Structure 1
Amino acid sequence: MKILTIILMGFVVTFCSPEQTLLETIKAQGELVVVTRAGPTTYYIGLEGEALGLEYELTQRFASQLGVNLKLIVATHYADILPMVVKQQVHFAAAGLTVNRERRELVRFSPAYQKTTHQLVYRKSMPNIPRSLADLNETTPLVLINGSSQVDLCKRLQQEYPQLTWQTVDLSPMEVLEKINTEEIKFALLHTNEIMQMQRFFPELQVSFEVADDELVAWAFPRTIGDDSLYVEAMRFLNQLRTSGELDRLIDRYYGHIDFAEFDYVDTRTFYRHVQERLPFYRKHFEQVGLLYNLDWRLLAAMGYQESHWNPDAVSYTGVRGIMMLTHATALELNIQDREDSIQSIDGAARYFLMLRDKLNENIPEPDKTFFTLAAYNVGLGHLYDAQQLARQQGLDPYRWVEVKKMLPLLSDPKWYRRTRHGYARGSEPVYFVNNVRRFYDKLLASLDVPVDADKQEIRIFSPQQQPTQYLSKPSQLPVL
């Protein structure tokens, strides 16, 4: 799966006149120029043409705070990013770059906003898997991305492991993982967050071992002399984002439903088998109901998979039944005659979902509101309200899922549920339910829809008020760096 790549522009960013600081110049010109890279951990275009990705959201918020447009340049190659910063062709890089001593000699980094580590990744069917650095030698074709921190790491490790050899490629992490999945590449060293994002879609990808300690992820700025205005403003912005809790919420949006500790290979393989064997019988029902109630049918399908694995005859030990596992009381309330009729079950679940969502506080933003609704669908509104109240008592934001999901498991602890109105609940279950629905939804997006055309190489400008507003010139008119 390839995502939009963009030809780099061969221009030098105009920094500032003697009378203006860099920050003042950026505000006067109305444009912040940032280089990134395409990928699920940084920046990508969603199915509706919307810009997504943690790095995009962070830089867009920063540009909005400055009151300027964001000009996001997507590097063709990983190795192009730092030279663009060093040559001051951009104001800074927001590309999931990790901090190490080699890079500190070239650029200066903002406060870190994430951390990751290095892992050796391979395809499950591959024989003779290396289990430690000592197993890596000239007979083990280790692949590294040119310009990545893994290259710096291996150069350092080679002093201790002189047999360590590798080859570099000008590919994105996602392209490397795709080639591992097709066995074009045998072994590669990549960051954990990149592997886990793609492992949901390529369940054959496996991790053998971790290499070195965690590395921090940060923005990279030029080492300009005498003008720290933009750098200081970025530091202030990131610190405010962390203090307000917004940074945690953004990270939760992209990583909160991914289990970094353990990947369930069997579960993922079973899901994709059911996509092929079961979903075709019910997809039209999900689509019809989604259209009727203006809901994403894939969200309904993800809920249905979590509830019954798309089995209309499913019955739980508590008596809920049908493809959407509705209770008898809910079915009566929704006037559903037959819970095991798939169209009635899906229609009822959609109406119940909307009914719950309408009862939630209007101050809850998306996508948190969807997560709250899913939790209420699983555990009931009363217990969700209890968890929100516990969040308030602990000084947490009751309108943010990243905060409330910490409180839900406490509803099974007498120390906590005795303080609540609705009492005991299996509070871990709604957290598990929401995480799984989010995972299944992501997998449906990847398995059912055509990816963005990777041959379209465009540079997009984002205003602080709205999503993509215009395109620059066609790539053939742009000089290549």
Structure 2
Amino acid sequence: LSDIQKKGELIILTENSSTSYFNYRGKTMGFEYEILKDFAASLNLKLKVKVVSDSKKFNQMINEKKGDIIACNYTITKNRSNLLSFSKPYLKEKLVLVQRKLKISPKDSSNVIFIRDLSELNNQTIYVRMHSSYKKRIENLEEELGIDIKVKELSGDPVTEDYIQAVSQGKIDFTISEENIAKIVSFDNINLDINTPISLPMSIAFALRQNNPVLLDSLDNWLSSYMKTKKYKSLVNKYYVKRNLGPSLETKKITDGQLSIYDDLFKISANTHGVDWLLVSSVAFQETRFQPNAIGLGGAYSIMQFMPNTGPSYGVYPDSPVNVQIDGGTKMIKTLLNRYKNIPLESDRIKFALAAYNAGFGHIDDAMKLAGKYDLDPYKWDDNVKVMFENLTKPEFYRDPATKCGAYRGHAVRYAEDVYERYINWKNESK
């Protein structure tokens, strides 16, 4: 620990995932990242992050002193404990089977087929990382149940949530995950079932070199206190509890007489900044269903969901009145439309701006660079930048030297197209 304090920085080894470390609307986030950021601050240290592109190298890198702590949702296993020291567990999660909900009848969505009896996995194929603890659990299941399970892995060393997405997309039928990771991915993939446990709760902890007892004791003592705080509980809620904003996204029609009680404010601001008020309204509806006091992921606030590091740039703060919130959101949309003014087709220009509003323009810029690199048109949305944006979930693309912002596993494509479609519908209804 004294060597770390002399350097003035704590180095963590992690991966780009929705539990550990990621970029959301220009803000660095991640459950484990935020915990260790607070730990580093308690020691008056800066937190330095090293993203490891090959998950098989974590143990090697920590033992070569290229990092101080491994933070990647590590479960404590016997094999790992022979090589590493583990902190006090900060979560306990069971492993679950991830599968798609298969309807028995298209007319009856209530009846679905799941594997609940694990013996039914006999002769099935489960995709997992070969060097993961999941592989060992499958071997134990085979021994316990007297069954044979085929095990394969996806190419490119994708992270666990990429395997889960592959199940949702129908590319594979089964994978295994800790329940906390599966829960995050299932929030936005309602065709997934994660309710078949395949283990007892397992301890998830930070991993350190075995010859670093002072740092381990310091971390354990700090975690013992930290996990009793409101801050820790708020982090658990922030990442693992799904928010329900209420009404369906398709319930509002302009023919109802008004979209919201704030229609006049949207019209005034849109007229001032030269943006269609229906476009701004569609963004606000998608973000918060017109709720000025909504709080979102990463501390996003206001009817337009500004991130804490972005809102002040547009004059919007958590206590700003709704007219200021709307005006700031309108200015931001106008700024993004201007950013993509060289996009020839107006519908594409709007979709670029909307995707950037949701994901941050860094990921859009990455997708445009990849489009150019792979002989696609970086100034067209459909079949071009949209394709590369969706490819940012794949390691071979988000680890490409042309990219700067890493993986993107959000839903900016769907967001942009939903907001745009609603905007066009409202526009047609108003004629």
What residue is the counterpart of 2:136 in the other structure?
Answer: 152
Does the 8 Å CA contact 1:130/1:208 hold for their aligned counterparts? no
Any residues of structure 2 matched to 1:58-457 within 5 Å, and which? 58-125=35-102, 129-138=114-123, 140-160=124-144, 161-169=146-154, 170-207=157-194, 209-224=196-211, 227-257=212-242, 271=248, 288=266, 301=285, 305=289, 350=292, 353=293, 367=299, 449-450=358-359, 453=363
Once residues 242 and 164 of structure 2 are traced to their aligned partners in structure 1, the CA distance between those partners, rounded to angstroms, is 21
- Give unpaired runs (5+ residues) of structure 2: 105-112, 271-279, 303-353, 368-399, 403-431
Report the residue type matching 1:449 in the other structure.
Answer: N
Percent of aligned pairs sharing the same letter: 19
Does the 8 Å CA contact 1:110/1:220 hold for their aligned counterparts? yes
C-alpha root-mean-square deviation of aligned residues, in Å? Answer: 4.4
Does the 8 Å CA contact 1:286/1:297 hold for their aligned counterparts? no
Does the 8 Å CA contact 1:93/1:220 hold for their aligned counterparts? yes
- Give unpaired runs (5+ residues) of structure 1: 1-22, 260-266, 306-345, 358-365, 371-444, 458-473, 477-481
Ranked by relative contact order (alpha carbons within 8 Å, sequence separation 6 or more), the top structure is: 1
The CA deviation at 1:180 is 1.4
Once residues 364 and 87 of structure 2 are traced to their aligned partners in structure 1, the CA distance between those partners, rounded to angstroms, is 31
The CA deviation at 1:110 is 0.4
Report the residue type matching 1:37 in the other structure.
Answer: E
The CA deviation at 1:129 is 4.5
Once residues 125 and 64 of structure 1 are traced to their aligned partners in structure 2, the CA distance between those partners, rounded to angstroms, is 48
Deviations 1:157-182 (A, max 9, x none): 23223413311332112211221122
**1:115/1:60 CA distance change after superposition, 3 Å:** same
**1:24/1:276 CA distance change after superposition, 3 Å:** farther
The CA deviation at 1:197 is 0.8
For the residue of structure 2 that corresponds to 1:209, the secondary structure is strand
Pick from 29, 36, 43 the counterpart of residue 7 of structure 2. Answer: 29
TM-score (norm 1): 0.52
**1:99/1:288 CA distance change after superposition, 3 Å:** farther
Report the residue type matching 2:214 in the other structure.
Answer: S
Deviations 1:397-444 (A, max 9, x none): xxxxxxxxxxxxxxxxxxxxxxxxxxxxxxxxxxxxxxxxxxxxxxxx
**1:256/1:201 CA distance change after superposition, 3 Å:** closer
The CA deviation at 1:91 is 0.8
Report the residue type matching 2:210 in the other structure.
Answer: R
What residue is the counterpart of 2:17 in the other structure?
Answer: 39
Once residues 220 and 276 of structure 1 are traced to their aligned partners in structure 2, the CA distance between those partners, rounded to angstroms, is 52
Once residues 23 and 71 of structure 2 are traced to their aligned partners in structure 1, the CA distance between those partners, rounded to angstroms, is 16
The CA deviation at 1:72 is 0.7
| Larger radius of gyration between Structure 1 and Structure 2 | 1
Once residues 188 and 112 of structure 1 are traced to their aligned partners in structure 2, the CA distance between those partners, rounded to angstroms, is 24
The CA deviation at 1:297 is 7.8
The CA deviation at 1:369 is 9.6
Once residues 177 and 109 of structure 1 are traced to their aligned partners in structure 2, the CA distance between those partners, rounded to angstroms, is 26
Deviations 1:9-51 (A, max 9, x none): xxxxxxxxxxxxxx1111111121111122221111111x111
TM-score (norm 2): 0.58
Once residues 32 and 268 of structure 2 are traced to their aligned partners in structure 1, the CA distance between those partners, rounded to angstroms, is 31
For the residue of structure 1 that corresponds to 2:4, the secondary structure is helix
Does the 8 Å CA contact 2:14/2:71 hold for their aligned counterparts? yes
The CA deviation at 1:55 is 0.8
The CA deviation at 1:187 is 0.9
Does the 8 Å CA contact 1:290/1:297 hold for their aligned counterparts? no
What residue is the counterpart of 2:276 in the other structure?
Answer: none
Pick from 27, 32, 45 the counterpart of residue 55 of structure 1. Answer: 32
**1:277/1:172 CA distance change after superposition, 3 Å:** farther
The CA deviation at 1:186 is 1.0
